[in-house]
Amino acid sequence: MSRKITRRKVLAGTAAGAALATFKFPAPAIAQAAPFKLGLLTVKTGPLAQGGIQMEQGVMTFLKEKNNMMGGRKVELFSADTGGSPAGTKTKAQELVELDKVDVILGPLAAFELYAISDYIIQQKMPTLSLAAADDLTQRHDNPFLLRASATSSQAMQPMGHYAATEMKLKRVVTIVEDFAFGYEQMGGFQASFEKDGGCVVKKLWPPIVTPDYTPYLAQISDCDGVCQGFAGSNPLRFMKQYAAAGLKYPVVTGETGGDDALLKSFGDDALGLVSCCPYTLDLESDGNKRFVDGMLKNFNTVPGFYAAGLYVNCEVVDAGLKAAGGDASDKAKFMAILKKVSLTDTPRGPIKFDHLGNVIGNFYVRRLGKEGAKYGLKLWNKTVKTYDNVSQFWTWPEKEFLAHPVYSRNYPPLRKC
């Protein structure tokens, strides 16, 4: 995708740059005539590129469908590759804010990238819509300029815990996820709601992020009736394969990344029966989703998953906000307030609105991976078996009670005797 470099070309020579700096352009008479600048912080190189490339595809699909217009204004997209490092994210965020002067930032992808620019976003009053799941940024360390239309790390796992206990009737579950914050927060959410509904987590396994062979951990899975995994990126593929190869037959449940629809083309039969809870599901029969999926297939010949859908929805939110603001996003604080009030009914993930902390309240879909219903040339399909609507980041707990306990971590909730 080509980026707008016309302005930069002019500024290439420092002399030209100095000359331009002294020459003040008159403020445009009608703000709406100026293009709306959209910044995208994504990862296009390195191991996180898988999600990052999909994020960009989601944004491009939206822009192509709407003919590059948002809120009645032409859109200029500035796509920046953070390289998956916090320092790179900070640099690119500065590039988008200071050099490209964007109005809104979409992204970044990873929680540590978002933490790296959290202070900067507040300082620059830059409305940011991120996929990064870090719980506390919309809970105990709330960032007023962050809007999250996807989910917190625990938001999808809490209904999953409830479903596992009440519908799958699991009683003893072993959790296994990578040893980092996204993993802790997912499993914390799962454990809290699973144990609330009568289940018990017997063991928690934390393989390091780089674990080529999960066998040392698979060998410890016993004395249970189910497994909850929370892997992300390419790891779910490897895990499910090695799980089946180890001869383990317990039902496996997972969250938004562990059974991502984008992996359907890569999963093998070893993933059959995987139950996942995700804010987005490919098989949602709605106009909004149909438009989105058709767009992704037409433009990129790719079946979308959670990352692409998340960014497409973010674009819809920005579009709606811009319309409500009459095309004027110049007052950042005011625009942020408008964005927080956006409420949509027909996004690819269904109806959404935001709570006062900037996190989404929407549908979460429990799906089972099987062969029936497979479309788009896929052999496997995630079929929705239950929809939870109006799910907030606090699940069924009152907000005050939820925020009173510490953020989900490796040791919270603590393991108890089952």
Partner 1 sequence: MNFWILLSVNSITFGGLLFLLSSGFSLIFGLMRIPNLTHGSLFMLGAYVGASFLAGFLSIKLDFWLAAILSAIVVAAFGALMERLLLRRLPGDQLAQVLVTLGISFMVADFCLMVWGGDPISVATPAHLSGFVRYGPAVFPLYRLAIIGIAAAVAIGLWLLLERTRLGAMIRAGVDDPDMARVVGIRVSQLFTIVFALGAALAAFAGIIGGPILSVYPGLDQDMLPLALVVVILGGTGSLLGSFVGSLIVGFLYNFGQALLPELAYFILFLPMLLVLVLRPQGLFGRQLS
Partner 2 sequence: MNKKLVALGIAFLVLATLPLWLTQIYYVNVASQILFYAIFAFGVNLLLGYAGLVSLGHAGLFGIASYATAYMLAAGASHTLSIVGALVIGLLSTAIFAALSLRTTGIGFIMITLALGEILWGLAYRWISVTNGDNGINVHTRPAPFGISLASASSFYYTTFIIFLIALGAMAIFVRSPFGAALKGTRDQPRRMTALGYHVWMIRFWACMLSGLLTCVAGILFVYYNQFISPQTLALTSSAEVVLMVISGGPATLIGPIVGSALVVVVKSVVSGYITRWNFLLGAIFVAIVILMPEGLVPGTARLWKLGWRKTMARRRPNVLKAGGPPA
The footprint of partner 1 (CB under 8 A) covers: 45-47, 49-54, 179, 205-208, 210-213, 215-217, 219-220, 222, 233-234, 237-238, 241-242, 245-247, 262-263, 265-268
Q: Cβ distance 278 to 153 under 8 Å?
A: no
Contact letters (x/-) for partner 2, 205-244, by CB under 8 A? Answer: ---xx-----------------------------------
Contact letters (x/-) for partner 2, 374-413, by CB under 8 A? Answer: -----------------------------------xx---
| Smallest distance from partner 1 to CB 263, Å | 7
Question: What residue 29 binds from partner 2, partner 1, none (CB within 5 to 8 A, per partner kind)?
Answer: none
The encoded tokens of residue 206 equal: 């934390």
Q: Cβ–Cβ contacts within 10 Å for residue 108, how many?
A: 31
Q: Cβ distance 236 to 209 under 8 Å?
A: no
Question: What residue 212 binds from partner 2, partner 1, none (CB within 5 to 8 A, per partner kind)?
Answer: partner 1
User: Given CA atoms 316, 397, 140, 308 in this order, what sign does their dihedral have?
Assistant: negative
Pinpoint the alpha helices (H) of 167-246.
181-196, 215-218, 235-245
Three-class SS state of 285 = coil
| Smallest distance from partner 1 to CB 148, Å | 23
| Smallest distance from partner 1 to CB 214, Å | 9
Question: What residue 345 binds from partner 1, partner 2, none (CB within 5 to 8 A, per partner kind)?
Answer: none
Q: Cβ distance 61 to 290 under 8 Å?
A: no
Helix or strand run (H / E) with residue 314: helix 306-324
Report the residue number, 383 or 410, with the smaller CB distance to partner 2: 410
Question: What residue 220 binds from partner 2, partner 1, none (CB within 5 to 8 A, per partner kind)?
Answer: partner 1
Dist CA 369 CA 268 (whole Å)? 11
Q: Which stretch binds partner 2 (CB under 8 A): 57-65, 174-182, 371-379, 394-402?
A: 174-182
Looking up tokens 């000359």 gives 19
Question: What residue 80 binds from partner 2, partner 1, none (CB within 5 to 8 A, per partner kind)?
Answer: partner 2
The answer to whether residue 250 forms part of the interface with partner 2 (CB under 8 A) is: no
Dist CA 238 CA 231 (whole Å)? 10
Nearest residue to 143 (alpha-carbon basis) of 169, 124, 167: 124
The answer to whether residue 140 forms part of the interface with partner 2 (CB under 8 A) is: no
Q: Which stretch binds partner 2 (CB under 8 A): 173-181, 322-330, 352-360, 367-375?
A: 173-181
The answer to whether residue 121 forms part of the interface with partner 2 (CB under 8 A) is: no
Question: What residue 30 binds from partner 2, partner 1, none (CB within 5 to 8 A, per partner kind)?
Answer: none
| Smallest distance from partner 1 to CB 223, Å | 11
Q: Cβ distance 187 to 229 under 8 Å?
A: no
Helix or strand run (H / E) with residue 387: strand 381-391
In terms of C-beta density within 10 A (0-12 exposed, 13-18 middle, 19 or more buried), how is residue 343 classed? exposed
Looking up tokens 């040392």 gives 216
Q: Strands of 69-70's sheet, edge to edge?
A: 69-70, 73-81, 36-42, 104-106, 128-129, 146-147
| Smallest distance from partner 1 to CB 130, Å | 19
Dist CA 259 CA 232 (whole Å)? 9
The answer to whether residue 80 forms part of the interface with partner 2 (CB under 8 A) is: yes
- Give the binding site for partner 2 (CB under 8 A): 3, 5, 8, 11, 14, 17-18, 21, 44-46, 80-81, 83-88, 90-91, 94-95, 98-99, 111-112, 115-120, 134, 179-181, 208-209, 409-410
